Structure 1
């Protein structure tokens, strides 16, 4: 009698077993992390004495980085949704100018100027999104137009109202305002005062601020940047709306067939 051969198992090519190391190496964010490590390593090796890594140096480049982090969160989510916004830089200048006009020129409370400007910026973002989804025009073209429109308004409004292109005095107007510290204040001031007294960070050696730490605390700009990064990560990876964002940017038509409100998602991302 012939022996019955056991059936041979054929491995399904769709099931790929990957090691944890391989999973980590193919993650797209690895490139950014490696690049950051290389840049900081080079500066540590060749420019360590430049002051980049003392308390004041760290705070300086951290604040600049925080500005780009805040911009990058919204821009990243919009790009994942399959669109692009060139008017972000002009929007920043326009928003700052409107806060100055409302608070300094018109005499509004700073908290009201911030809220109204925020609502105005949201409305312009919504207008960008509506034009893109209703007309089918590339977001590159639409937002390029708004780049010049907002830049023009940023120059036109102060010239028309104040006969100048720069409006100062926001810091004085914000004195005592309850909302201003939420965006322009500092936290952990007591900790930095202690580190100055302990000699961990530099302090002023002369003048009226003698003995006070050079860095008084962590600016709210950095706090907002970190909060928004965490918020964006949670939205994209832990929520249904985050799945909608990926779907809208991956295959918009297939996403519509699956019930994803693609147009609404894109407009919200522009906002």
Structure 2
């Protein structure tokens, strides 16, 4: 029995909008491989593989008129074959995999992915779509993890770019990024505060204090603010109590100086 797709075609179709370097060839090849391996009929699967191969070659060399012509012919031939088989069988679900590939070879990426979700793992499809974005300095694993957890592409891709950009941060900060991203609470203020902490070169003990302050531990925040006041840093203490995360690095350094 085929399950209903988890995401509509429109959800998948928004991915290319998030990157100017979207790689249609990468997506077609990756998603096509996931689809063709699931086509049960050997002869139909072979025809699908040939059509996919020439389409990927065309997308990698779009200037070639010969490849463009052969790719169109291959896609049209497969669509005709699938249509003929469906007329005989009278059951579209029996040809779901082949129909998904027809969508893909026609450039209907959203429809292809939505159809493929009914017979292959969503996680694999997500990896292909994220990889096709070709975003520089990007954490694919975090983005895929967030998408698999149900977060929207815009939020997941933003978090992936943040983690990629600041991959030089110490591991304890990167862990906070991942945790906050998964919880949907990674905002600009938090990123700025963590960047300050990264440049502050905190000792292990200071880093532990900073991590607890960033997590919003109220007792420690109050104690740290009181300590800052005792050190003559009243403004920093007030900001810390108000939740201004940019004071975390200063608080951690002064408290354990």
TM-score, normalising length: structure 1? 0.25
TM-score by length of structure 2 reads 0.25
Q: Higher helix fraction: Structure 1 or Structure 2?
A: 2
For CA contacts below 8 A with separation 6 or more, give which structure has more relative contact order.
1
